[in-house]
Amino acid sequence: MAVKVIDITNYSPKSLDVFFFDNSVWMYLFCPLGSYNKNKQKYYSAFLQSIKTSRSTIFISSLVLSEFANRYLRMDFERWKDETNNFTADFKNDFVGTQRYNDTIIEIKRNINQIMQFCEKSSDNFNAIELNSVFQHLSEIDFNDSYYIELAKLGNWKIVTDDNDFIKCTGHNLEIITLSN
């Protein structure tokens, strides 16, 4: 068993392929706040288009959408602190509920709705996930990434990511599609 890492530029999706995009890719594609690497955006966007053309399936879980919304809000909070010179501001006490926060929520909703146009909702299969398998990798990667690995194994999904943490867990029979650096 080994993780098979595939360069995104060398992979052509097939109609029966099933993919799982982690949050790192969705952030490149649908979060304009980060001024993310335009070159990476181009490759992940082209790959998403090739999936759409091939009629492959992308599954998404609520946990990925939660990561997307939370990361988006935190990035905007950091920008807001810089713009207002309020460097000691607290996210919940000073930012949540402001007009800026509410405007950002509207953007997030719009972007999540766009993401959902490409995806099928997936159950997180918590009842079928072996938590000891998730815990095994916590010294190498975070809980969510470890959970996604177990979820992908259950669904026989190919993980599309820009997060090198997935490659660290070598004891899995997974295909990881990423942009090689």
Per-residue pLDDT of the chain (181 residues; tens, 9 = 90+): 578 889 999 999 999 999 999 999 999 999 876 566 778 889 999 999 999 999 999 999 999 999 999 999 999 999 999 999 999 999 999 999 999 999 999 999 999 999 999 999 998 888 999 899 899 888 888 999 999 999 999 999 999 999 888 877 666 688 999 998 6
Strands 120-121 and 4-7, bridge-based pairing = unpaired
Cα 158 to the center of its chain, rounded Å: 13
Report the domain count for the chain. Answer: 1
pTM value?
0.92
Structural domain including 8 reads 4-178
Provide the CATH number for the domain around residue 172. Answer: 3.40.50.1010
